[in-house]
Amino acid sequence: EAQVTQNPRYLITVTGKKLTVTCSQNMNHEYMSWYRQDPGLGLRQIYYSMNVEVTDKGDVPEGYKVSRKEKRNFPLILESPSPNQTSLYFCASSSKPGGSNGYTFGSGTRLTVV
Amino acid sequence: AQSVTQPDIHITVSEGASLELRCNYSYGATPYLFWYVQSPGQGLQLLLKYFSGDTLVQGIKGFEAEFKRSQSSFNLRKPSVHWSDAAEYFCAVGTTDSWGKLQFGAGTQVVVTP
């Protein structure tokens, strides 16, 4: 089954403790993105990647890092999480630039930073 | 500045009635547009997309949307809603000159009453 898999689904952590949210897709897509969803704000793009070793900032990149060492994986790294990063995070992938044929989304990771 | 606006935060509709969700955008370049649906606790699912060509596009689950360049709008419609259509709906816009950045509206929550 074609899918984007995120782990973990739920995560509670403390301020300053580094964490990684993994994302993997099995569709051989070149384009991947990370979004965060907050009530009343919709989805805001954190980072996106056009291919292996090629990434760029989205609208809200502060406090986040990404890497794309393999085509299928696009982990999101929070080096020093803070409470304002409490949010619902989605990874997405597409076979065309910018999701122009539609993104496939993962099921989301709900992160709470206390 | 580029923006996507969904004017209605919340809509309540009776089962069997028609539904229209509004989306307005402000972009300088030629846009491509999407509607996504998010059921509770789920990721986002693509309903339909417009890239070029016929301005009335058909999607899944009986939805359709019309692109009106003169009004900078891409409204979503369904002639007769079902209880299962209760969800949050997001409009998203990208452009061919900044293809990496797909911008989402804040969402419209749809409640379906018996």
pLDDT tens-place values along chain A, 114 residues long: 889 999 999 999 999 999 999 999 999 999 999 999 998 888 999 999 988 999 999 989 999 999 999 999 999 999 999 999 999 999 999 887 766 678 899 999 999 999
Q: Is the CB of residue A4 less than 8 Å from the CB of residue A91?
A: yes
B37-90: pLDDT as tens digits: 999 888 899 999 998 888 899 999 999 999 998 999 999 999 999 999 999 999
Instruction: Give A1's contacts (C-beta < 8 A, 6+ positions apart).
Output: none
**Which of A103, A104, A107, A110 is most worth mutating to test chain B (most B CB atoms within 10 A of its CB)?**
A103
CB pairs under 8 A between A and B: 70
Contacts of A41 in chain B (CB under 8 A): 106
Taking the C-alpha atoms of residue A80 and residue A102, their distance in angstroms, rounded to an integer, is 32
